[in-house]
Amino acid sequence: MPEQMIDLRGDCARCFGLCCVALPFTASADFARDKPAGTPCPNLRDDHRCGIHARLRDKGYTGCTVYDCFGAGQKVSQVTFGGRDWRDGPRADARRMFDVFPVVRQLHELLWYLTEALTLPAARPVHADLRRMLERTEALTRGTADELAALDVPAHRQQVNVLLLRTSELVRAGLGGGSKKKNRRGADLMGARLKGADLRGASLRGAYLIAADLSGADLRGADLIGADLRDADLRDADLTGAFFLTQPQLNAARGSAGTRLPESVTRPVHWTA
C-alpha cells in the first residue's frame, strides 16, 4: 500500500471505539442484533476493544469484518476531541462526537480517492487540481466539531467527484476503456455471469455487482468506485491496477489466494481462512 494511504486506515488503538458506538445496526445477515446510534455495542469492552474480535463471523457480525473507517475514528478521537474519551465527559459532548464521526468518515473516504488518484501516472494532467482538493479536504477534517457538524458533505463530494471522473477517463483511455461496451457505470449486474469477462479498463462506477460471478475476470485498470461487490465472486480475478477500490468493498466480496489485487488494498483474512 502506498505510504500516504496508511493513515487512511482505521487504527483502533487510537480510537474510542467510535464505530461500535456511533453507528446504528439492524439485525440482519451482517449483524446479530439491533443497536441504535449512539449506544455502545454490548461486545465493546471498557478498553474500547471488541470482546469477540477473533470470532466476529462465527457470532453473526460479518458486517464488522467488512467495515473500515478510513482513519476517521482516530482523527475524531485524537484531533477533533483532543484525546477526550466520550465516556468521561458530558453526554452532549459524546453525542457531538458520534454526530461528527460519520461526517469525518465521508471526508476521509474522499481523501482516500484523492490520495490514490495522485499515485496514478496517467492522471498527471490533473495532479495539481487533485493536490489542491486534497489539501482543502484535509483542512475540512481539521475543523471544530461544530464546523464539521454543519458541513455540506454532498456538495463537497460533488466537487471532488468531478476530478475523480476526469482521473478515471485519463487512466482508462490508455486501456481501451473509452468504448461504450466498457461503460458499465451504475449498471445492474446483480448475479451477472461475468466469469472470465474482459473488463479491462471498464467503468464500473456505482455498478451493482452483488453476487456477480467475476471469477477469473480481467479487471485490470477498471474504475470500481462505489461498486457494490457484496458476495461477488472474485476468485482468480485480476484486479491489478484497478482503482478507487476500497478495503470495505473488497472485504464484502469473496476471493481466493489466486485473486490479483491492486497495491492500495490488502487480501481479506477471511478469503483464505
Residues of the shown chain interacting with ligand SF4 in the complex, contacts defined by CB under 6 A:
20, 41, 43-44, 50, 52, 61, 64
Residue 17 CB, shortest distance to ligand SF4, in Å, is: 7
Segments in the chain forming alpha helices (H): 19-22, 62-66, 72-75, 91-117, 127-141, 145-149, 153-173, 247-251, 269-272
Asked if residue 107 lies in contact with residue 134, where contact means CB atoms within 8 angstroms, the answer is no
Give Cβ neighbours of residue 15 (< 8 Å, ≥ 6 apart).
48, 69, 73, 74, 76, 77
Q: Between residues 62 and 203, which has the closer beta carbon with respect to ligand SF4?
A: 62
**Dist. CA 75–CA 164, nearest whole Å:** 24
Q: In terms of CB distance, is 49 or 267 closer to ligand SF4?
A: 49
The smaller minimum CB distance to ligand SF4, of residues 71 and 143, is found at 71
What are the C-alpha distances in Å from 138 to residues 56, 104, 107, 109, 119? 33, 10, 8, 11, 17
Query: What does residue 198 show for φ and ψ, rounded to 5 degrees?
Result: -90, 100
Shortest CA distance to 24 belongs to which of 89, 129, 120, 101? 101
* Beta-carbon contacts of residue 9 (< 8 Å; ≥ 6 apart): 68, 70, 71, 247
Compare residues 23 and 192 and give the one whose CB is closer to ligand SF4: 23
Closest to ligand SF4 by CB, 20 or 217: 20
Q: How far is the CB of 53 from ligand SF4 (least distance, A)?
A: 6
Measured at the alpha carbon of residue 66, what is the angle toward residues 217 and 231, in degrees to the nearest 5?
Answer: 40
Smallest separation (angstroms) from ligand SF4 to the CB of 252 = 15
CB nearer to ligand SF4: give 23 or 123: 23
CB of 59 to ligand SF4, least distance (A): 7
What is the closest distance, in whole angstroms, from the C-beta atom of residue 202 to ligand SF4 in the complex?
34
Question: Cα separation of 173 and 200, whole Å?
Answer: 11
- Closest contact distance (angstroms) between CB of 76 and ligand SF4 is 16
